[in-house]
Amino acid sequence: MSGADRYAGFREFALARGPTLSRTAYLLVGDHQEAQDLLQESLAKTARHWRRVQTGGHPEAYVRTVMLNQLRSWRRRRRPTEVISEAVPDAASGDDLAGDTATRLTVACALATLPARQRAALYLRFYEDLSEVETARQLGCSVGTVKRHVHDALVRLRRHIPSTPPTAFEGVQPSEVDHV
């Protein structure tokens, strides 16, 4: 089998779904460069098994699973390089863009304090809008574990950003995540 046949459709998939998968990677790791590394490694692993993945019918879900597994692997091998401060900067109030940016940065900093599994559970449940069952399948755990991760993550986030109103992110489009 020629190399072109083996990867038929992969390039188109990567180009079409790349921006969405890039946002997924960013939301999982919280850093643009690390997100690009995660996506690149995940797509390379997916390409090696492309015929099987394409036959399965859910290539984007497969890539997300590869990203989650790759992230777990990185976390086991890497030591944390960031130092998390005790105090989260105050979010500016008002209708100005600086206030919105400050709120987003505050939330991003608070999300960075969460363990990877809790952040992944929040992402899959609320950003990807997956059910608890689908999230459990993606994370390879039980529905009860997903519920526990989401609950614990929300409790931690509320402690870090108690003054952020619940409507702080109404109307925020997924494409705006690239600008955080």
Domains 3-77 and 97-179 share a fold: no
pLDDT number for residue 92: 47
Q: What is the mean pLDDT of residues 22-41?
A: 90
Per-residue pLDDT for 177 more than 50? no
Q: pLDDT tens-digit profile of 113-143?
A: 889 899 989 888 988 888 999 999 988 999 9
pLDDT-derived band at 174, boundaries 50, 70, 90? very low
Region of poorest pLDDT, from 34-43, 70-79, 93-102, 151-160? 93-102
pLDDT-derived band at 51, boundaries 50, 70, 90? confident
Would you tell me which CATH number, out of the four given (3.30.1490, 1.10.1740, 3.40.50, 3.40.720), belongs to the domain 3-77? 1.10.1740
- Amino acid at site 88: V
Whole-model pTM above 0.85? no
pLDDT number for residue 178: 35
Q: pLDDT tens-digit profile of 86-121?
A: 666 554 444 556 667 777 777 788 888 889 899 989
pLDDT number for residue 80: 57
Per-residue pLDDT for 161 more than 90? no
Residue ranges of domains in the chain: 3-77, 97-179
The CATH class of 97-179 is mainly alpha
pLDDT number for residue 123: 87
pLDDT number for residue 180: 32
